[in-house]
Amino acid sequence: MSQTPADYSGPQRVLSGMQPTGQLHLGNYLGALKNWVSLQDDGAWDCFYCVVDMHAITMPHDPALLPDSVRSAAAAYIASGVDPSKSAIFAQSAVRAHAELAWIFNCVARLGWLERMTQFKDKAGKDKERASVGLFTYPVLQAADILVYKATHVPVGEDQKQHLELCRDIAARFNRDYGKGEAIFPTTEPVIQGPGARIMSLRDGSAKMSKSDVSDNSRINLDDDADKIAKKIKKAKTDPEPLPATVEELDKRPEASNLVGIYAALTGTSKADVLGEFGGEGFGKFKPALADVAVQYLAPISDEYRRLIGDKAEIDRVLAAGAEQASEVAEPVVAEARKLVGFWG
Ligand code: TRP
């Protein structure tokens, strides 16, 4: 992991967030949450994990469903091992400082920088004139999410690299224009997630595992019980060949590669290790082994998730405490930024 620049002497902090998009799945767990938990357990960082409900309204949404979607995401964080006594877990909209800093950053970021963002192009589709302005400035709010805690490290998937670069550009520009060159905001480093970062659909090895896939059998949801987990793995699409001996050969077979990747990510080993054990074996042998491993790791998460979701009061307590903790860090940062840009009071 690379270091923040030598002229930045603030604390090492981690921030990340996920949209409250309903049911989270194995891809979210292996691609993000598992990594959040290891950064938390590392002990070297103050960790802030938010549910980004302000980002959720950049696209059409149902206001009646949003609070429960936030609870559901928070429950998935906790069930996955994010521990409220070690990390701040909160809803982005509960900490007003995000919005305040985002406005200042909207005036620091340049139109040209945002026009290069590929995620906007993907999400806005063909008729971008009809996209919300919020969708366009989405990455500016994301930069505020990060820098309002002066976070030095952000665990994200590969697809967020461009937004992290924008965050660094905004920090540098702010430091230059308002900080007289002093490092007010750090240069944030992305922590790109490990081998589990890209979990593909169980029905199609070339598409990412996604909650919007019409087939429920394409993903393992974080609320699937042991029985469902095992069934979905047994039904997963494969090819008729036995597993190869090398990763090079495996990589030519997307479905096989995905299942081996899931096994490796769950057990914290590599694809090569898994092939060392199962190379030459058919799926008749590998799938039951994978189902066992998946149930062993995921069933406790799913049990805890289902317990939590039934106890809204407990989730709400965690979110309230997390928002308070987060505000204590964020408020002085916004106060500093307000002063530097010359705001009243
Ligand atoms: N844009 C991120 C995603 O789609 C979500 C997000 C919002 C985020 N704010 C963040 C991620 C801050 C990391 C840090 O995954």
| Ligand 1, pocket residues at CB < 6 Å | 15-19, 52, 55, 142, 145-146, 154, 156, 160, 163
Closest Cα to atom 9 of ligand 1:
142
pLDDT above 80 for 197: no
Q: What share of the chain is helix, strand, coil (3-state, %, to 5)?
A: 55, 10, 35
Torsions phi, psi for 127 (to 5 deg): -95, 75
Ligand 1 atom showing the smallest separation from residue 52 Cα? 7
Q: Is 208 a catalytic residue?
A: yes
Angle between helices 161-178 and 97-106 (to 10 degrees): 80
Closest Cα to atom 2 of ligand 1:
18
Q: How far apart are CA 104 and CA 338, in angstroms?
A: 8
Distance 221 CA to ligand 1 centre (A): 20
pLDDT tens for each residue of 91-117: 999 999 999 999 999 999 999 999 999
Distance 158 CA to ligand 1 centre (A): 12
Q: How far apart are CA 223 and CA 261, in angstroms?
A: 21
The answer to whether residues 219 and 209 touch, using CB atoms and an 8 Å cutoff, is: yes
pTM > 0.85: yes or no: yes
pLDDT at residue 2 in the model: 42
Beta-carbon count within 10 A of 306 CB? 15
Question: What's the pLDDT band for 3 if we cut at 50, 70, 90?
Answer: very low
Q: Is 237 a catalytic residue?
A: no
Q: How far apart are CA 175 and CA 40, in angstroms?
A: 29
Question: What's the pLDDT band for 65 if we cut at 50, 70, 90?
Answer: very high
The counts of H helices and E strands in the chain are 16, 5
The answer to whether residues 38 and 71 touch, using CB atoms and an 8 Å cutoff, is: no
